[in-house]
Amino acid sequence: MPRLLESLGFSVNERTRRGPCPVHGGKNQSAFSWTDAGLWKCHSCGAGGDKVALIRTVRQCSFRGAVEFLAALAGVEYRPDKLSAAEIQRAQQTGERAEREAWRVHDEIIRVRGYYGDCLRRAERLEASTTDWDMLTRLARVSTFFFAAYTHTNRLDSGALARFALMTPAMRRAAILEGTNVAP
């Protein structure tokens, strides 16, 4: 941000991250402030935004002009590719399909975690309510499996959890019993 402000012709104080507002041109040395992320705000005139908004406001240019200015400042080549309406529509449809699929995976993760947690609680309640040793022996195995399944699903990272949720029940069972952290 300091480099951008200097390139726009403004003096900056990197220590305080404050200075006179480049938008309204005031003299107050503490009116304008910015963050490392490139967000800025003038506490006098109320203007604010990101780097592109600052460039557009100060240089009175279009969004594309601001992006070209930022690219030149960063030393990268800016190549705006012209996309046809069909390409834009295909990209939007792909994005929409990806979003629907992501929500489907999310819902399946919630369902699987809920299923294993619910089964574990039911097995524990049955164990607590019975005194029949044969039943307790069978329930112990079931409780152990559901405890392992519940622990497994809550220990996986997001990528492994998504792969786990998309597995068949037999593949899930094998992954739980093997105790692997990364689902295939």
- In a domain, residue 80? The reply is no
pLDDT digits (tens, 9 = 90+) for 103-161: 999 899 888 888 888 988 888 888 888 888 888 888 888 888 888 888 888 888 888 88
pLDDT of residue 98: 92
Q: Do 7 and 32 fall into the same domain?
A: yes
Three-state DSSP state, 32: strand
**Domain ends where: 21, 55, 74?**
74
Q: Do 70 and 149 fall into the same domain?
A: no
User: How many whole angstroms separate alpha carbon 48 and alpha carbon 170?
Assistant: 55
Q: Do 53 and 134 fall into the same domain?
A: no
pLDDT digits (tens, 9 = 90+) for 26-41: 677 777 888 878 788 8
- In a domain, residue 53? The reply is yes
Number of domains in the chain: 2
Q: Do 90 and 172 fall into the same domain?
A: yes
Q: Do 90 and 144 fall into the same domain?
A: yes
pLDDT of residue 93: 93
Q: Do 105 and 169 fall into the same domain?
A: yes
Please report, as a single letter, which amino acid is at residue 169.
P
- In a domain, residue 183? The reply is no
Please provide the distance, in angstroms rounded to a whole number, between the alpha carbons at the two ends of the chain: 44
Region for 160 from its dihedrals, namely left if φ exceeds 0, alpha if ψ lies in -120 to 50, beta otherwise: alpha
pLDDT value at 180 more than 60: no
Q: Do 39 and 123 fall into the same domain?
A: no
- In a domain, residue 60? The reply is yes
User: How many whole angstroms separate alpha carbon 64 and alpha carbon 158?
Assistant: 36
Q: Do 91 and 65 fall into the same domain?
A: no
Q: What CATH number has the domain bearing residue 43? A: 3.90.580.10
Range of the domain at 10: 2-74
pLDDT value at 2 more than 60: yes
Q: Do 10 and 65 fall into the same domain?
A: yes
Q: Do 20 and 68 fall into the same domain?
A: yes
pLDDT of residue 126: 85
Instruction: Locate all alpha helices (DSSP H) within the chain, ordered by sequence.
Output: 2-7, 51-59, 63-74, 85-129, 133-155, 158-165, 169-178
Does the pTM surpass 0.75? The reply is no
